[in-house]
Amino acid sequence: MGLAFAVASASAQTKLRAWNIHPDGYPVTEAMKSFADQVNKGTQGRYQIEVFSNATLGDQPKAVQMLKSGEIDLAEFSSGPLSDAVPGIKVLNLPFLFTDSAHMFRHLDGKLGERFAANLKGAGFVVLGWYDGGARSFYCAGRSPSNLRDLAGASIRVQQSEIFVEMVKLLDAKPVPLPFKEVMAGFEKGTIDCAENNMPSYEATGHYKLAKSVYVTNHVVSPEALVVSAALWGKLTEADRKVFQDAGVRSALLMRELWNKRVAQAQEATAKQGSQFVRVKDVSPFVRRMSPLYAKYMNDPTTREELLSIIADK
């Protein structure tokens, strides 16, 4: 009887694979491990999730395809691949749209997040929690910007993204699209003057060793999302779906808490190494410069409604 029960229990276990791009110890990875533990407990061990961190299963574009094909079951994605699936999400990367993460999550934990989640579900992604993608600022080598004019003429590394390229052009600077892993070499060779990213990335990459001047603009505050494949979601019972959803919400809150601590640690550590931080006092000159970019997305029917709802709650 005992052996039969053990065999039945083993056969009832479902092992799931979860992907993320970040290393062990990073807020995203730790939050996903917490999510896996909660699902394991909530389903009495019937669902066991293994978290594969550091993009060990492949890069982000590959992971998107793996999720759709069923090779992985869960993942934590930045807004890039999500906006490829649902174009309206592009609006979340517009500069100076959100004042801070609290402002962003007020929307994503409410009706706007529900609308995005419904659209993403139709594209094969079921959102379980909105994670913090961080606030991005400029950091430079050889120049110390303290106002908008100081960025004019600078060669600034950007992601290969239409919004980021256009943003830098509107600052009268030169966008230099480069893969993230080539940013350090760009500073060393002098092919870029500045780059822009969140503070944990600035520290973790060692960019602070060459780019000591940080202009804290927080120009883009964007989310990431913990998602499960629609295929797996369709197989879950209502009770198990609730376990996954509750675990997702709790993991998102944990991630945000860990992220805020990580940002503070990164700023403290880089300041000790000589980084100088200048905070933007008034974003209105930047916002005025971005008018053509806002107008473009306001005229796009796939992003107009989302943009209007955010602006109305400034």
For residue 91, the Cα-to-chain-centroid distance in whole angstroms is 14
Domain range summary for the chain, segments of one domain joined by +: 2-311
pLDDT score for 217: 97
Q: What is the pLDDT of residues 291-302, one digit of tens each?
A: 999 999 999 988
Mean pLDDT of 15-30: 94
Closest alpha carbon to 177 in 156, 198, 163: 156
Give 2's pLDDT tier (boundaries 50, 70, 90): low
Q: What is the pLDDT of residues 184-236, one digit of tens each?
A: 999 999 999 999 999 999 999 999 999 999 999 999 999 999 999 999 999 99
Q: Return d(Cα 115, Cα 311) in angstroms, integer.
A: 16
Q: What is the pLDDT of residues 276-287, one digit of tens each?
A: 999 999 999 999
Give 10's pLDDT tier (boundaries 50, 70, 90): very low
* DSSP-derived pairing of the beta strands 155-158 and 125-140: unpaired
Give 61's pLDDT tier (boundaries 50, 70, 90): confident
**Average pLDDT, whole number, for the chain?**
92
The architecture in CATH of the region 2-311 reads 3-Layer(aba) Sandwich (3.40)
If one compares 87 and 234, the residue with the highest pLDDT of the two is 234
Q: What is the pLDDT of residues 99-133, one digit of tens each?
A: 899 999 999 999 899 999 999 999 999 999 999 99
Angle at which helices 291-298 and 304-311 cross, to 10°: 130
If one compares 47 and 309, the residue with the highest pLDDT of the two is 47
Q: Return d(Cα 80, Cα 87) in angstroms, integer.
A: 10
Token pair of 267 as six digits: 């700023």
- Number of residues that make up the chain: 314
Angle at which helices 162-170 and 291-298 cross, to 10°: 140
Give 167's pLDDT tier (boundaries 50, 70, 90): very high
Contact present, 47 and 237 (Cβ < 8 Å)? no
Is pLDDT at 151 greater than 50 in this prediction? yes
Q: What is the pLDDT of residues 254-272, one digit of tens each?
A: 999 999 999 999 999 999 9
